Structure 1
Amino acid sequence: MTAKSGSGTGNAGRAVTWDEVSARRLERQFLTRPAAPGTPVAEVVGAMLGAHAQVLSAAEVSVGVRAAGVTRADVRAALWEDRSLVKTFGPRGTVHLLPAAELPRWCGALTAIPTGPGPFPPGIRVTEEQAEQIVAAIGDALDGVCLTVEELGEEVVARTGAWAGDLVMPAFQGLWPRWRQVMHRAGQSGALCFGPNRGRKVTYTRPPSAAPAAPGGTALRELAGRYLRAYGPATPQHFAKWLAAPPGWANSLFTELAGAGEIEEVAFEGAAAWVAAGDTEFPGGPVRGVRLLPYFDAYAIAAQPRRTLFPGEAYERALAGGQAGNFPVLLVDGVVAGVWHQRRQGRRTTVTVETVGRGLTARQERELGEQVERVGDVLEAKAELVIGKVTVGAHA
């Protein structure tokens, strides 16, 4: 059995529709109804399989709209006080909030994903041996301390050699030292995470969990199953895109899982896709409701197929060259129906929402007003809704 996606259903089992799948995904993401008051923030982040935190305020909104009564202060307390969350490099090598208790499993899975040659020319790129030296040096340097990137760089060079500090990496309007090209690998291996800011400067430290990474094979199988429960049915190609992993490797993994009876095939809108074994119950009835999802929200990035989630004009307006996350999105009845932007001034924030493809009914406008108010609550600000053109471009 080979786990490939295609136009036919092959030996697929139960047939499921987009509405059924959307209803289940939204429910499991706490987007049908928020998690009950008192639900640990880390539990909500775990259900999302991580909250993208390149923009921390966006991560706070991602979590807050999924959990009743949660504000940005609660997310920050989980991150910096009780340390139930860790800010580190997660899927795709991008910055995420992850549950601290899950970090050994994440590290085991992420470090087991094969990587190809780096994006840099040979004269800039580090060898695998050098990469391992840098990661070990980072972990050693950050043991028990918080360092800025400049301070960390000095420690890495002292432990490895001058070659690690060569200014060779093109970055913004200057050059970064060579060692920084594998910084994300240090995060994914558990050697590094973000610490509290020192004024305006970002710091790094060791994660709070002292547990070693879980065995890679076991952790990967578990991650694939969790992905399918959260965002399935899905194909190996969808899983590979979510992880920024080689598609051929993902196909081999799904073939292995299918052979072991850990996943099973369904017909999703006429095409073959996969779910975790036995996880074939889906809610009935169409999806209803309005939601606001911020930059890089996990649902907008992971839910596939993207052409269905972003129908018609939404595909051009709410994506950046087909890439999800670069615009905050308006979700109406389970599909993207617009973009939005919030501009804060003091204790007030103006939320501008632009619809595409269709207007909103009176009921949907009321729900939108409630969602805007909720975004304001999460950000601890008084929110005002403006329906009109969003003039802010895509986030880089």
Structure 2
Amino acid sequence: MTTTVGITWEAASARRAERQFLAGPAGTGTPVDEVVGAMLGAHAQVISAAEVSVGMRADGVTRADVRAALWDDRSLIKTYGPRGTVHLLPARELPLFSAALTAVPTGPGGFPPDVRLTEEQAGQVVTAIGEALDGRCLTLDELSEEVVARTGPWAGDRVMPAFQDLWPRWRQVVHRAGWAGSLCFGPNRGRKATYTRPAYGVPGAEAGDEGGDALSAFVHRYLHAYGPATPQHFARWLAAPPGWATALFGRLAAAGRIEEVRFEGTPAWVAAGDTDFPDGPARGVRLLPYFDAYVVAGQPRERLFPGKAYQRALGGGQAGNYPVLLVDGVVAGVWHQRRRGRRTTVTVEPLVRLTARQERELGEQAERVGEVLEATAELVVGEVTVGPHA
């Protein structure tokens, strides 16, 4: 390892891969929540994608292990994380995430004025959600009834456009309830999702005030996993105002908590003193699922998605729409898996010519996808004909 303040893309991507168990998987017996913590959360809007994100980073881990961590020993929690999207987070780190995410400024949202909640109403809804879920699990319909009863009919007005339907007004801030520690997902009741309050059945997950240092600790964690990075990169990862992120980085720099480096010749930031990087680039072939943390948070995008990958694997500049093939730390293809019973077909569309070694590694990765999903995998190399989110 060398110490330098002039950092190349190759060195940065190699360190990110090391710190997120992509250079080599976590050893057998590594706690699942430790793997998720290294990623700063696993995107879980589609739970099978989260299971693959975690499983591809840890030897021997399958979807059953992820589910056991979530529902049995409760070391993981399913709730709303960065960008207001559903994530798996380590339960022990919920207080930090809660304190940091609730400190991010929220704008009026994209809804018309007659649809929006006022800040006062939003606060009432978040409080009502926490009260309704205290000590019990409720379906969405049951929670909706409780929220309206505790606030007023205005909360239940079906005015919020969503998925070719209209949702009740209160659902605009369900993610903020997750950030505040008032709500998380509970076990499904049949085919219906349930919600509960995190402290219920999740030891150590009562959200608390981490004090004024929460944002500093959160930025430090982000830079450890994804640095070097700019305030704009951080803001994009959080869906936060860029000006706010710039001011935050300025305060942390003045306090000596972060330091400026040259990343591919431009200013960027790392945690103070964290300037050791690998001498060589990332090596190896990896298959990552939808919205994997490495590709969503990795910046700059034009480096992570070089050449054809920028058009093929991004949707309007948004990372995560396609599962991706990584070759030596950069996106070099897309893939898709289709399960039938106990078998799954993994179709991979490389955008570069693979060496014989890389082809062998690709076969091993496809086999590993099957193991994580508790299925037997068949690898097909060819065009992926399905669209994003398929």
CA distance, structure 1, for counterparts of residue 211 and residue 308 of structure 2: 41
Residue in structure 2 matched with residue 109 of structure 1 by the alignment: 100
Residue in structure 2 matched with residue 335 of structure 1 by the alignment: 330
Preserved CA contact (<8 Å) 1:319 1:325: yes
Taking the TM superposition and a 5 Å limit, the aligned residue runs for 1:19-168 are 19-168=10-159
Change in Cα spacing, 1:272 to 1:211, as seen in structure 2 (3 Å) is same
> Gapped runs of 5+ residues in structure 2?
none
Amino acid at match of 2:379: L
CA RMSD of aligned residues (A): 1.0
Whether 1:225 and 2:216 are equivalent positions in the alignment is no
Cα displacement string for residues 48-88 of structure 1 (whole angstroms, at most 9, x for unaligned residues): 00000001000000000111100000000000000000000
Q: Normalising by the residue count of structure 2, what TM-score does the alignment of the two structures yield?
A: 0.97
Deviation at 1:14, TM superposition (A): 1.2
Amino acid at match of 1:318: A
Deviation at 1:172, TM superposition (A): 1.4
Residue in structure 2 matched with residue 382 of structure 1 by the alignment: 376
CA distance, structure 2, for counterparts of residue 107 and residue 30 of structure 1: 25
Deviation at 1:214, TM superposition (A): 2.5
CA distance, structure 2, for counterparts of residue 337 and residue 200 of structure 1: 37
Residue in structure 2 matched with residue 237 of structure 1 by the alignment: 232
Cα displacement string for residues 94-133 of structure 1 (whole angstroms, at most 9, x for unaligned residues): 0000000000110000000011112111101000010011
Residue in structure 1 matched with residue 176 of structure 2 by the alignment: 185
Residue in structure 1 matched with residue 389 of structure 2 by the alignment: 395
- Return the match for 1:312 from 307, 328, 338: 307
- Return the match for 1:370 from 347, 364, 371: 364
Amino acid at match of 2:20: Q
Amino acid at match of 1:370: E
Preserved CA contact (<8 Å) 1:109 1:216: no
SS at match of 2:94: helix
Residue in structure 2 matched with residue 256 of structure 1 by the alignment: 251
Whether 1:279 and 2:270 are equivalent positions in the alignment is no
Deviation at 1:217, TM superposition (A): 3.0
Cα displacement string for residues 24-57 of structure 1 (whole angstroms, at most 9, x for unaligned residues): 1000000011111111100000000000000100
CA distance, structure 1, for counterparts of residue 207 and residue 31 of structure 2: 24
CA distance, structure 2, for counterparts of residue 155 and residue 216 of structure 1: 31
CA distance, structure 1, for counterparts of residue 281 and residue 235 of structure 2: 29
CA distance, structure 2, for counterparts of residue 64 and residue 232 of structure 1: 24
Deviation at 1:355, TM superposition (A): 1.1
Amino acid at match of 1:248: G
Deviation at 1:287, TM superposition (A): 2.0
Amino acid at match of 2:229: A
Amino acid at match of 2:305: F
Deviates more, 1:217-226 or 1:293-302: 217-226
The runs of at least 4 consecutive aligned structure 1 residues that moved more than 6 Å come to none
Preserved CA contact (<8 Å) 1:138 1:156: yes
Cα displacement string for residues 243-279 of structure 1 (whole angstroms, at most 9, x for unaligned residues): 0000000000000010001111111111111000000
CA distance, structure 2, for counterparts of residue 132 and residue 174 of structure 1: 25
Preserved CA contact (<8 Å) 2:91 2:205: no
Amino acid at match of 1:300: V
Deviation at 1:216, TM superposition (A): 5.4
Deviation at 1:174, TM superposition (A): 1.7
Deviation at 1:213, TM superposition (A): 2.2
CA distance, structure 2, for counterparts of residue 52 and residue 32 of structure 1: 20
